[in-house]
Amino acid sequence: MHEMSLVRSVVSIVTEEAEAAGAAKVTKVHIVLGEGRDIVEDLFESLFQFLARGTVAEGARVVLHTRPYMVRCNACGNEFHLIPIDKRTWTCPECGKYKDYQLVSGMEFYISKIEASKGN
Ligand SMILES: [Zn+2]
């Protein structure tokens, strides 16, 4: 379950940032997530709630912004959407070359925005 370590690092970054900014409570955490990361979104959110208990991020909403897994064909340069678990999508729809591509996007994993309310 690789979600656990990713969520753990998200929670520690969020709480550090919030505390440094003097926030009383984190309300929302926006995360950009590539499809290729193979994250179970529901699991991610519930782990976040679990790990954030007792911190300023407790009860914050997690908003996941998914990025498609895009590759560029080495043979013809065409960019197409690939689904890692579906081998039928590993073939370039333009020239028919199989499994000969470079990754363009889809492995993103970062916090894009933290929303918080200020304490007194
Ligand atoms: Zn191609």
Nearest to 111 by CA among 38, 19, 9, 35: 9
Residue 115 pLDDT = 97
Compute the distance from residue 24 Cα to the ligand 1 centre, in Å.
52
Compute the distance from residue 65 Cα to the ligand 1 centre, in Å.
28
34-70 tens-digit pLDDT = 998 888 889 999 999 999 999 999 999 999 999 999 9
d(CA 63, CA 46): 12
63-109 tens-digit pLDDT = 999 999 999 999 999 999 998 889 999 999 999 999 999 999 999 99
- CATH number for the domain spanning 32: value is 3.30.2320.80
How many domains are there within the chain? 1
Compute the distance from residue 64 Cα to the ligand 1 centre, in Å.
31
Compute the distance from residue 109 Cα to the ligand 1 centre, in Å.
27
Range of the domain at 93: 3-118
Compute the distance from residue 97 Cα to the ligand 1 centre, in Å.
6
